[in-house]
Amino acid sequence: MDSVSCNGNGNGKTDKPKALHVAMLPWLAMGHIYPYYETAKILAEKGHFVTFINTPKNIDRLPKPPKSLEPLMKLVRLPLPRVEHLPEGAESTMDVPITKNCFLQKAYEGLEDAVAELLKNSKPDWVLYDFAASWLPAIAKSLNIACAHYNITPAWNICFFYPSKDGRNTNLTHEPTWLPFRTTIRLRPYELMRALADLKDEETGKMPTFDLCKAFSNCDLFFVRSSRELEGEWLDYLAHAYNAPVVPVGLLPPSMQTRDVQEEDDNPDWVQINAWLDSQHPSSVVYIGFGSELKLTQQDLTELAHGIELSGLPFFWALKNLKEGILELPEGFEDRNKERGIVWKTWAPQLKILAHGAIGGCMTHCGAGSVIEKLHFGHVLVTLPYLLDQALYSRVLEEKNVAVEVPRSEQDGSFTSDSVAKTLRFAIVDEEGSTLRQNAKEMGKVFSSEQLHNHYIQDFIAALQNVVVVNEGMEGDYHAGLIVAMSLAKGTSSSSTMGDEVWPLQVWYRKEAEEEVDVTS
């Protein structure tokens, strides 16, 4: 391999970092598409061009980019191929029951040729891909395009389920003793049984099978929507387990997102909600929301409603996915609680509500984006997770003493209204929960720090700009040396140092490299 200088022109002079062209392909779930889209807007704000790839319906679901960014953002709509058993018009996980995700995966894989042609014609510097696109690195390498896996879930999610490339298995219902640090997180037996039942299509018996090891192992850089303040030890282990150049990009908190604040302020729904919140005591209201895709059972909805009522706390319950005639609140629930609570059945301006001083805590399913938004405002969390990644998030937050999970049966996951009420009161008003509330406020300082997360974004962009992919000059023979600017390795930001260790940017080399790359010239 030729010797390559880092971000230089070969004669010892340092060039100004160039503007990049970055292509992005998230998985077909809005919980993945939104973080990718926010990242795309941040890149465009910094002067880089982004080609954002997804399906027509999913792109139409996104808010339009600010006019100032339109010249730097190309939204490419690729129609999904027709797949048997996939409902007509389904383009996202929100369009299908979870049992049909295997067919959504097949349709996503059917985009391979269209994506390859797009990359061949547009020639981006980088392509950022999601966990489900394990087929994309091979395409990128054939075109001499650098590729990065961008994972929008925390590192612990990857490490726990896929601990290393050597195939070591663990009992997921036990604490992971194979880690070099101690953690008490584990899954409950009912969570594993539910996951297997939920993912299997009854008609065909098929389940989604993503080649995650391939997706994680074949990238030039491994980006994670996370921070060392949240999970430094997990990020370290991830880099070790996959021998990968792991770079946290920060949490993309609401303070970094581009929004039309004036339009939100003028929204009639917000005007009504704000007036009600203004009438409540400070830090007294519990905000309850379980995302747009979670489908509660009637039993869970009933117990939850009775528990909220039994707690006696003021509440705002965002229940957009309540299907009238299919699921129903307990008879008379809204009338009995109209003086102290609101059940909101349409879209709710969540960030505006969370920022209001009347909110004293939140009840959540522990979706990654939802947790970030709530902890951004320093709110203590009462958790009721349903999916496996949500369960892990809940257990980690309990370990960090900023959340408390509603007790459930280890066998079937059922819970009672009494357990809901007691957990809510413990977290929001009881003296015993005061430490929990204080810890959440302290963590909120990390989640909301614009300075901290701007440093992470700087490191993220610097990694893209300063990593040089070196072609050996042989057609189709892609041997890449990865060089990260040594100036960054001296801890130029508060986010990149941990004691005397350099982080997150280090010098990494692909295994294919036959000679050491000189990064000192």
Our CA angle for 456, 459, 460, nearest 5°, is 85
* Predicted pLDDT at 482: 39
* β-strands 497-498, 501-502 pairing: antiparallel
Counting the structural domains of the chain, the total is 2
| Domain co-membership, 44 together with 55 | yes
The full DSSP string for 362-412 is EEE---HHHHHHHHHTT--EEE---SHHHHHHHHHHHHTTSEEEPP--TTT
Question: Is the per-residue pLDDT at 11 higher than 70?
Answer: no
| Domain co-membership, 221 together with 368 | no
* β-strands 146-151, 221-224 pairing: parallel
Question: Per residue in 204-256, pLDDT tens?
Answer: 777 777 787 788 888 999 999 999 999 999 999 999 888 889 999 999 999 88
**Domain-embedded: residue 433:** yes
203 pLDDT band, cuts 50/70/90, is confident
Range of the domain at 397: 262-448
| Domain co-membership, 220 together with 278 | no
Average the pLDDT over each of 148-152, 195-199, 252-256, 323-327 and give the range with the smallest value. 323-327
* Predicted pLDDT at 261: 62
| Domain co-membership, 88 together with 201 | yes
Question: Is the per-residue pLDDT at 469 higher than 80?
Answer: no
Mean pLDDT in residue range 75-85:
96
* Predicted pLDDT at 14: 52
* Predicted pLDDT at 162: 73
Mean pLDDT in residue range 147-159:
94
What CATH number did the domain enclosing 268 receive?
Answer: 3.40.50.2000
**Domain-embedded: residue 504:** no
Question: Per residue in 352-396, pLDDT tens?
Answer: 999 999 999 999 999 999 999 999 999 999 999 999 999 999 999
Residue-averaged pLDDT of the chain: 85
* Predicted pLDDT at 201: 73
161 pLDDT band, cuts 50/70/90, is confident
| Domain co-membership, 292 together with 308 | yes
**Domain-embedded: residue 477:** no
Question: Is the per-residue pLDDT at 472 higher than 70?
Answer: no
Q: Is 130 a catalytic residue?
A: yes
**Domain-embedded: residue 417:** yes
| Domain co-membership, 163 together with 267 | no
- In 3D space, the residue among 485, 513, 510 whose CA is nearest the CA of residue 1 turns out to be 513
**Domain-embedded: residue 508:** no
200 pLDDT band, cuts 50/70/90, is confident
- In 3D space, the residue among 226, 243, 158 whose CA is nearest the CA of residue 460 turns out to be 226
Mean pLDDT in residue range 109-113:
97
| Domain co-membership, 214 together with 273 | no
57 pLDDT band, cuts 50/70/90, is very high
| Domain co-membership, 306 together with 171 | no
* Predicted pLDDT at 166: 53
* Predicted pLDDT at 410: 87
Question: Is the per-residue pLDDT at 107 higher than 90?
Answer: yes
Q: Of 416, 448, 480, which residue sits at a domain end?
A: 448
**Domain-embedded: residue 516:** no
* Predicted pLDDT at 209: 77
| Domain co-membership, 54 together with 37 | yes
**Domain-embedded: residue 489:** no
- Higher pLDDT residue, 99 or 473? 99
* Predicted pLDDT at 68: 94
User: What are the b/e assignments for 113-141, b being 16+ CB within 10 Å?
Assistant: eebbebbeebebbbbbbbbbbbbbbebbb
**Domain-embedded: residue 487:** no
| Domain co-membership, 180 together with 320 | no
* Predicted pLDDT at 321: 67
CA distances (Å), origin 221, targets 20, 211, 245: 15, 18, 5
Q: Write the single-letter amino acid at 6.
A: C
| Domain co-membership, 444 together with 414 | yes
* Predicted pLDDT at 366: 96
Question: Per residue in 333-358, pLDDT tens?
Answer: 999 999 999 999 988 999 999 999 99
CA distances (Å), origin 188, targets 162, 185, 191, 411, 423: 18, 10, 5, 8, 19
Question: Per residue in 262-310, pLDDT tens?
Answer: 566 778 899 999 999 999 999 999 999 998 788 889 999 999 999 999 9
Q: Is 125 a catalytic residue?
A: no
* Active-site entry in 130, 220, 236, 389: 130
DSSP H helices in 145-227: 155-161, 189-199, 212-217
Residue 458, burial from CB neighbour count under 10 angstroms (0-12, 13-18, 19+): middle
422 pLDDT band, cuts 50/70/90, is very high
- Higher pLDDT residue, 304 or 9? 304
| Domain co-membership, 443 together with 460 | no
